[in-house]
Chain A
Amino acid sequence: MTFKVFIFVFAFLFCFTLLFERGGFSTEDKPGIEKSRGTYRRPLEFNPKTLDPALSVDIHAVTVIQQLFDGLVQFDKDLNVIPAVARSWKVSPDGLTYTFYLKEGVKFHNGREVTSTDFVYSFTRILDPDIKSSSSDFFTRILGAKEFMERKAKEVKGLIAQDKLTLKITLSEPYAPFISILAMKGAKVVPKEEVEKLEPTFGQSPVGTGPFKFVSMKEGEEIVLEANPDYFEGRPYLDKVIFKIFHGGPREEILILFKNGELEDSFIPFRDVEEISKSKQYIFLQKPILSLRFYGLNTQIGPLKIEKIRKAINSSVPKELIGRDILKRMAHLTDRIIPLGMPGYTPIKGSFGYQPQKAKQLLREAGYPEGKGLPPIEFWSAAKAELAVKELEMVKTYLSETGIKLNIKYETQWPKFQEILSSKRAPMFMYAWYADFPDPDNFLWTLFHSKSRYNYTNYHNPEVDRLLDRARAERDYLKRMEMYRKIEEMILDDAPIVPMVNHLFQMVYQPYVRGVEVSALGGPYIPMKKIWLKK
């Protein structure tokens, strides 16, 4: 009898423990590195000019640079700022002093350990007036940056290597998106000795801290990278990354190669999107990205100086039609500068500005009734793909109906095209701006501040400038956004651009590709260190 009792007590205890069983066993399979060595072949639509992070301008360079270099911080897929080389940081209450604590043992590809001095060097370099870094605009707020840029100082006062792993950055004014800027494409740490050794070809054989090392570049053909086994976040899964360079090449071509298995991913021509999206064979990824494609109207050239003409052009573009017929609704039409998803975005009110009557009126008011006397305007495009051509032709047609004549010119060589743009010689151009960081400053200041090098429309509005600068310092988020709204209104009122679409990221991947994380910044910012191949 007592034995029976014993058994039952035992059974009871056993059951008791079951009561507290924790459910859940780990579900996800993470591959061991052994399992997925492989080579990833990726298309670049254009040949990047340079792989020097300080000098890089275009998204194609960025795509490569992101795999070779790291900054203090990085964006995660949700654009949260997370540690990169810096393991933590603190901001002073007045928002002027940022102290970064670096991770220990982060090595450059040449083996040398990264210290705070390297960051001082790298950031100073960005501000170097001789380097003319495209990122310098964002660093001007650092204490002493202006002086340094005006060669009034030898160093940037605000950049201090406090100790080996502590970096202190002091700002002259609070700069709300400063942390995000440090995650930017350009804010990477570079090894001084390599830079000085290779200068100016550092951009052709870059050395960084990134998950992949530069192997080789066949000019205009391919760039080969290989895995960095000592990467501070752990060796990436991929062994090799090969960037195949196309030159504005039609996406159809790229897709064919992809389908043949020669590429791991591919861009998708608009008309194939529907089919691919339903494909059971490939992985289709789509995501709206913070970008704006627009027709730039150089406010300093010819008739485009006249606001009314610019406005007339705005009213003559059949955006809806383009969106429906050409873009097959694959992009988000917009009348605004700040893209959908970016803080400060304002939703569209009403139809997309196609008001031919208004356009004609404006022309008349401007003194060019029905475009009489209006010289044809040069329109430059880097893209020559079928759809791009179709679109521009349509624009040309509709504009001509109003009386504005366009002369469409194509330059598919990106560096050359960029040259045209940066020299501010293009009267009208098609351009797309992709966000570097998720802040309206990155669009409004970058594109429209008179001091911005990306201000290809040569727009000058002192009031806008002032507001832009003030907005940068505004720490109250809502107030800041409100300011940007106002700024946007002001700019749009001056119509320096015809905003067209906010892009959609649409790529197709081979079925064995895993780990692709796309943030709102788009394709270039996909961290390839997270990609692995399921073989």
Chain B
Amino acid sequence: MDFRKDSRSIRLRTRLIFYSTIILLLVMALVIILVEKRQSETIHEEARKRGITIAGHLAAVSTNALLTYNYIVLKQNAERVVLEKDVLYVIIHDKEDKVAAYSQHDEKQGMILTDEVSQKATRARAPLIQPILYGEKEVRVLDISIPVYIKESQEKWGTIRIGLSLEGMSSQILKTRLNLLFLGGFAIALGILGSIFFARRITQPISNLVGTTIAAAKGDLDQVIDIHTGDEIEELGKNFNHMIQQIRLHQTELENRLREITSLKAYTDNVLSSMTNGLITIDLEEKIVTLNEMAERILGKRSGKIVGLPLERVLSEDHPLYRMMIETLSREEGVFRSEMELKKDEGSLWLTVGTSLLTDGKGKKLGALVLFQDITGIKALEEKLRQADRLAALGTLSAGLAHEVKNPLSAIKTFVQLLPRKLENPSFMEKFNSTVPREIDRINQLVEDLLELTRRRVHPFVALDVNYLILQVIDLHGEEMEKKQIRFEDHLDRTIPPVEGNSETLYRAFSNLAINAIQAMPEGGSLIISSKHDSPSSGLQIIFRDTGVGMDEETSKNLFNPFFTTKDRGVGLGMALTHKIIEDHRGTIEVMSEKGAGTTFVLMLPVIKS
């Protein structure tokens, strides 16, 4: 904005002057008009009065003369009166209306004047004023006629007429007018000057004030207003100074704050730009407010191009990100998707997306924010890993399988290889007959188990009592447990409802778990098995807990992987099978173990809904 320093002040001054001049002019005009009118009227009135007075006096002194037709005296009187200022003529009519005296017109003496004015005058029975135009120059004259009566008689003894020139009056009026105009003009001039002067005096400080405020607005806060008019403006000036001071103080503060904010912003910007997450914020109108570099890259858009545009336009109405943002805004709470797939031409983009509602400090809704992480790579890696895992698993499986098979095979091979040599040995043959088929069975079982693992067999499900099965398993392994000094703790809840399942496989599962526990306690320990049904809506919970050697994290993680064996566990497929069986039963199995403290298996089986 370009500030002309005094433009506002000049206008104010002009306005002040203009208005005061207008008012002055109006007032003066009014005054002049009124005064002039009054004056004129007065002058008029004076003239008339004077005329009548003169005529009256003349009438008074002429009474005797009229009575005696003393034209001499009447003429003397007339000639004397005509000398009066503004008296143009004096005519005295005798009783018969003949001219007894006519100033400067001696020839008219004795005649009767036939003009209308004279006729009217001589006929009038009361003082009569007739305005006429007299003489060659047609001077404006008041013909003032006074009939002369004597106290004692009703008869009119004569008429006194004087012609009072209004020129003098007119010139006086004119002079008055001129004087008034002069005076008025002068007063106006003085008034204008005065108003200019005073307007200046008033507006100068204002102008200063304006100038200072402009300077201050431009940033120059060192201005101090120095006004000493002793009025409101001075106050204003003082207050302004105070204000400026305050502003200056605040400005410093603000500057500091600004610096803080700037650095904060720089920091935030830095953060935003270096964030590996993409960030988009929108306002209440769904217009994009912020878009960081990562978001740009992820979405393949440039922030310069899309900031300010509605999100809908940038992403499209059915874009999942957009939908999430809208949901956030409407539900006023954040939404989280651990995985979101964005279908693109070159393939899919996988994001972890989280939104939140943006509020100001007071909880007022400002917009929404979405943070997303491109996990496509991760996902891919995950896939690879899974693949690797699968491969590994497969490897492990194969390795495990190989390992499990190699042992029986080696036994069989040895016996077979020794067969020609030790055919005759009956103890050998005994051993041979017991070991070899056994080992072959072992191999066969492995194969069966493997098949079992991969088989999608739908076993016929019946209602089962889990506790019964468990106890059976314990019973089976009772001997071994005893030998290894493993105690069984029965925490089975007898009130549990039946479970839908296959008794054979479920038995197998429980058996594996028991074997696992037993194997974990070579020095002895306790195997605590509990079953409970917490609430009608929950499933059946079965816990196998041992006080064995426990597992490290990696082991417990890969426990259910087939053939996963560490040096500590060599169960082979057992756990994998167990896992599959439980899953077939639509249950879950989880393991918690701590190396040296023991292992706990938590199973959940759905109950029959009755």
Contacts and interface: CB of A to CB of B under 8 A. Distances in A.
The answer on A and B forming one complex is yes
A269 interface: no
Contact of A332 (B64, B96, B110, B183): B110
B107 A345 contact: no
A285 B190 CA distance: 59
Contacts of B109: 287-288, 340-341
B472 interface: no
Interface string B189-203: 110010001000000
Contacts of A4: 193
Given A347-B94, A520-B72, A286 B106 contact: yes
Interface stretch (B73-81, B212-220, B313-321, B517-525): B73-81
Contacts of A502: 110
A303 interface: no
A518 B106 CA distance: 9
B95 interface: yes
Nearest to A520: B72
B110 A288 contact: yes
A79 B68 contact: no
A5 B193 contact: yes
B197 A345 contact: no
* B contacts with A: majority SS: helix
A78 interface: yes
Nearest to A287: B106
A477 B61 CA distance: 13
B69 A78 contact: no
Interface stretch (A8-16, A140-148, A168-176, A314-322): A8-16
A210 interface: no
Interface string A296-323: 0000000000000000000000000000
A18 B182 contact: yes
B199 to A, nearest CB: 13
A519 B177 CA distance: 43
B290 interface: no
Interface in B32-76: 64-65, 67-73, 75-76
Given A19-B183, A342-B71, A344-B70, A78 B110 contact: no
B72 A23 contact: no
Given A12-B190, A478-B64, A286 B71 contact: no
B110 A347 contact: no
A338 B73 CA distance: 15
Contact of B69 (A23, A332, A346, A477): A346
B72 A478 contact: no
A23 B171 contact: yes
A80 B69 contact: no
B39 to A, nearest CB: 13
Contact of B70 (A23, A287, A342): A342
B100 interface: yes
Contacts of A248: none
Contacts, number: 100
B76 A345 contact: no
B68 A481 contact: yes
A347 B72 contact: no
A343 interface: yes
Contacts of A8: 189-190, 193
A80 B74 CA distance: 11
A92 B193 CA distance: 70
A340 B79 contact: no
B175 interface: yes
Interface residues of A, number: 38
Given A347-B96, A518-B106, A520-B75, A341 B69 contact: yes
A471 interface: no
Contacts of A286: 106-107
Interface string B105-129: 0110110000000000000000000
A77 interface: yes
Interface in B460-519: none
Contacts of A523: none
B186 interface: yes
Contact of A15 (B65, B182, B197): B182
Contacts of A340: 69, 71, 98, 109-110
Contacts of A487: none
Nearest to A346: B69
B555 interface: no
Given A343-B69, A343-B72, A345-B68, A19 B179 contact: yes
A332 B69 CA distance: 15
A438 interface: yes
A226 B515 CA distance: 191
Contact of B106 (A11, A288, A347, A478): A288
A11 B186 contact: yes
A80 B68 CA distance: 17
B136 to A, nearest CB: 14
B175 A23 contact: yes
Contacts of A5: 193, 197
Interface centre among B65, B94, B109, B189 (most CB of A within 10 A): B109
Contact of B79 (A1, A23, A78, A343): A78
Contact of B186 (A15, A79, A478, A505): A15
B71 A12 contact: no
B75 A79 contact: yes
A290 interface: yes
Contacts of B71: 340-343, 345, 520
Contacts of A347: 69, 94-96, 98
Interface string B370-389: 00000000000000000000
A481 B385 CA distance: 166
A344 B95 contact: no
Interface in A313-369: 332, 338, 340-347
B186 to A, nearest CB: 6
17 contacts: A11-B186, A12-B186, A78-B72, A285-B107, A286-B106, A287-B106, A288-B109, A288-B110, A338-B69, A340-B110, A341-B72, A341-B110, A343-B65, A343-B70, A345-B68, A438-B72, A520-B71
Interface of A: 1, 4-5, 8, 11-12, 15, 18-19, 23, 77-80, 285-288, 290, 332, 338, 340-347, 438, 477-478, 481, 502, 504-505, 518, 520
Given A19-B179, A285-B106, A341-B75, 17 more contacts: A8-B190, A8-B193, A11-B186, A12-B186, A12-B190, A19-B183, A287-B109, A288-B106, A341-B72, A341-B100, A343-B68, A343-B69, A343-B72, A344-B69, A344-B70, A346-B69, A478-B67
The 10 closest A-B pairs by CB, nearest first: A341-B71, A343-B70, A287-B106, A345-B69, A286-B107, A481-B68, A438-B72, A78-B76, A288-B109, A343-B68
